[in-house]
C-alpha cells in the first residue's frame, strides 16, 4: 500500500466520528433541558418556555423542577413540576415573571430529576434586552 492510501481509512473514520459527536448531546442525564425560549414582558421580567426530555417512570422517578440561574449560580426563578410526564416526552412548561437584573445577558436553565438531582444537560440562553 502506498503512503497516500495508508491514511485514507483512519482519516475517514475520524471525520465520521467527529460528525457523529457534534450531533450528540454534550451531557445526557435523567432530565435534560433541550430548548428554552425567553420573552421580555416589561419591568425587568421575562417569561420562559422550557422543553425538557426526562426519563420519567412514575411518581418516585421523574423531572420535578426546573430553574433559571444567573451566571454566578443565583436562582432567579423556579417552576415546580407536580407530576411525572411518562407519556409526554419531551414536554414544555412555562415559567412567568422571572426578574433578571440589568447587566445579565445570559442565564442557564437546568432541570432536576427525582431522585437523581441535577444530572442532565443544561442550556445557556441569551436574555433579549
Q: What is the DSSP track for 18-50?
A: HHHHHHS-S---SEEEEEEEEEEEETTEEEEEE
Q: Given this model, what pLDDT does residue 129 score?
A: 87
Question: Is 7's pLDDT higher than 70?
Answer: no
pTM of the predicted structure, to 2 decimals: 0.78
CATH 3.40.50.300 is held by the domain 27-126: no
pLDDT in tens, 43-79: 999 999 999 999 999 999 999 999 999 999 999 999 9
* For range 90-100, the mean pLDDT: 98
Quote the CA–CA distance of 110 and 65 in Å, as a whole number.
9
Q: Given this model, what pLDDT does residue 2 score?
A: 54
Q: Which residue has the cell 447587566?
A: 103
Amino acid at each position: 500500500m502506498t503512503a497516500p492510501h495508508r491514511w485514507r481509512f483512519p482519516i475517514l473514520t475520524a471525520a465520521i466520528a467527529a460528525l457523529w459527536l457534534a450531533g450528540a448531546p454534550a451531557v445526557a442525564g435523567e432530565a435534560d433541558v433541550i430548548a428554552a425560549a425567553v420573552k421580555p414582558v416589561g419591568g425587568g421580567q421575562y417569561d420562559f418556555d422550557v422543553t425538557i426530555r426526562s426519563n420519567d417512570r412514575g411518581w418516585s422517578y421523574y423531572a420535578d423542577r426546573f430553574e433559571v440561574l444567573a451566571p454566578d449560580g443565583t436562582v432567579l426563578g423556579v417552576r415546580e413540576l407536580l407530576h411525572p410526564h411518562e407519556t409526554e416526552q419531551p414536554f414544555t412548561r412555562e415559567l412567568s415573571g422571572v426578574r433578571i437584573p440589568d447587566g445579565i445577558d445570559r442565564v442557564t436553565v437546568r432541570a432536576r430529576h427525582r431522585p437523581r438531582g441535577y444530572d442532565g444537560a443544561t442550556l445557556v440562553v441569551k436574555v433579549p434586552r
